[in-house]
Amino acid sequence: MDPVSVVKIIGNLRYSTDKATLIASDAYAEEIIKVENVQEFVPGSVSIGGDSNSYSPPHIQSTTVNVVTRVYERGGRNVFLYKTEKGHYFLVNQTTLKGEVNTLIPLVMEDAGKLYYESLPVHLVEPEIAFPDYLIEDA
């Protein structure tokens, strides 16, 4: 799913997806191939010709069809990670499920970095730009 416009004021700060930079998400295309059996009615036929006559009775013919679909939502939900011009991070949990609402959650840099590196596979901004002060140490 594509990210939607969200604005929320939390602790005297206005968070706006329209004014922030989307840096990571889990919204990616995933192909699902499903095999379906299609049944088709074939009417009977009579062939009269020369020395022989033939008759083919009506029947059902089965055909296998591969159906490819693209899925962008993870069970009707996606997560989008943003960074404001002033360096604040926030997360938008977006849903298409009935009865659920989109949420916006402010994050500290450490939590945003953990999501970026460990949970969100689509990186729209290079890590050096998204997290210039994020410390990564060798194990």
Question: Is the alpha carbon torsion for 101, 85, 27, 111 positive or negative?
Answer: negative
Contact 82, 24 (CB under 8 A): no
Within-domain flag for 60: no
Within-domain flag for 41: no
Within-domain flag for 96: yes
Residues in the chain: 139
Tokens 């022989």, residue? 52
Quote the number of domains for the chain: 1
Within-domain flag for 67: no
Within-domain flag for 43: no
Within-domain flag for 83: yes
Within-domain flag for 82: yes
Measured between alpha carbons, how far is 122 from 117 in angstroms, rounded to an integer? 10
pLDDT per position in the chain (139 positions), as tens?
789 999 999 999 999 999 999 999 998 766 666 666 777 887 877 777 766 777 778 878 777 776 666 555 567 899 999 999 999 999 999 998 999 999 999 999 999 999 999 999 999 999 999 999 888 889 8
Contact 71, 33 (CB under 8 A): no
pTM over 0.85: no
Measured between alpha carbons, how far is 14 from 24 in angstroms, rounded to an integer? 20
Within-domain flag for 113: yes
- pLDDT confidence of residue 134: 86
Nearest to 80 by CA among 16, 27, 139: 27
- pLDDT confidence of residue 30: 61
Which range marks the domain in which residue 79 is found?
A: 7-27+74-130
